[in-house]
Chains A and B, each alone.
Chain A
């Protein structure tokens, strides 16, 4: 069981001796093997939420628990895809992906097969020995995703993981993520700015208000997906054409626009 539970989470940052309330009471339960996407205005505290689940940041009040245990430190069972990749510049693509497995103490033969497979999935063949600075931004992002996937973690924490990808690669990655999720579902917390990506991937979409971030609404996508049988469609564009899809997307879009309007005055 690897559910994520935010209970009354607030976070106040201190900067220049002033207090910046960043999260104002987050209550959210992500069920075991559920895929939850978070959307919200820039700076509303999405990354902060994700970092708390990762054990890299801690609430000012309230608790964050994974699998029923309060999160105290980071670990490979909660793999993070960082917004800024955070690859090791001194390690090749292969060694970057391999590092987490090595730390886990996995034997070499098993590692090899898994790394080769994930490199294939991510379309990184031929770049095994390249260093991160020799790759494009999109490729670096794919290495960061591979580094997290290869650990086969209970919980995947992804911070705008497809943000740096071109539209075509992005689509391939989204379809791949859905495929992986079907084969081997995990608990996923996924931050994005792209509303259709959120609706396409997630079981539920959390819409946040601007800073100090609170939950504006939680939109249930899974029931619509099931009722409308979106998985009949192989391709993402066919799903996005569904009336039910458009309807959800527009609804979320309006919620975000409402935050934007509050920002303007």
Chain B
């Protein structure tokens, strides 16, 4: 199928879904709008949160708050996670040292860290960054590790024959060799970051999209709930798209 063709089909599907939504909430009210909002309700909620604000702030403030937390947690987790994954993948000694700790932490669902994070750091930003870190860290480590282990032995042999050592070996051989796996890990980490952020904000926050969702649930305000959900999706999707762009730029040799 031609790319233009499938894009057109995609647009058509979305338009159809929106039309059906409008139809069954407004024209033929089969759906109870007290449970699921009509397009007009969502529009009203969107205008309210952008103009007057909702849950103590305007939309952009919530979006910025959540995005900054996600980026902070994600970036730290990736830096630490990729470094640890490289070390564990490359050095048997590092693996022996770190793997037991990692195996112990790994089965704990990230959300189970929330209570401890609150006890340690309170309800502020630091606690949420910690929880995001815990969630994003695991896929970064595992995939980087896998990438290093999947390296062809011949490549390692060629690089040691050419005299590659130390930082140059890491930068020019180890990292690019593991890069496809590393990026898989980063994509999973990013998803996990958004998931845990929303959960952490639901527990308690001053601002943030999770806080919007939390307030809207308490106010039984379906229109606002949908706005919150849509913006979580948009932010996550946008960051994933940026990551995809970085991935293509970072690995030109894999472009078709």
Contacts and interface: CB of A to CB of B under 8 A. Distances in A.
Interface stretch (B56-64, B163-171, B204-212, B214-222): B163-171
A74 B164 contact: no
Interface residues of A, number: 26
A79 B155 contact: no
A82 B177 CA distance: 18
A88 B155 contact: yes
A260 B154 CA distance: 30
B162 A103 contact: yes
B111 interface: no
B154 A86 contact: yes
B176 interface: yes
Contacts of A86: 152, 154-155, 157-158
B179 interface: yes
Q: Chain B at the A interface: mostly helix, strand, loop or mixed?
A: helix
Interface string B224-237: 00000000000000
A37 B163 CA distance: 26
B120 interface: no
Interface residues of B, number: 21
Contact of B253 (A84, A100, A131): A131
A90 B179 contact: yes
A179 interface: no
Contact of A56 (B157, B165, B179): B157
Given A86-B154, A88-B158, 6 more contacts: A80-B158, A82-B154, A84-B154, A86-B157, A103-B168, A104-B163
29 contacts: A56-B157, A56-B161, A74-B157, A74-B160, A74-B161, A75-B161, A76-B161, A76-B162, A76-B163, A78-B161, A84-B154, A86-B152, A86-B155, A87-B158, A88-B155, A88-B173, A88-B176, A90-B176, A90-B251, A90-B253, A91-B172, A91-B253, A99-B162, A99-B172, A100-B163, A103-B164, A103-B168, A133-B253, A151-B162
Which 4 interchain pairs have the tightest Cβ spacing? A100-B162, A90-B176, A86-B154, A86-B158
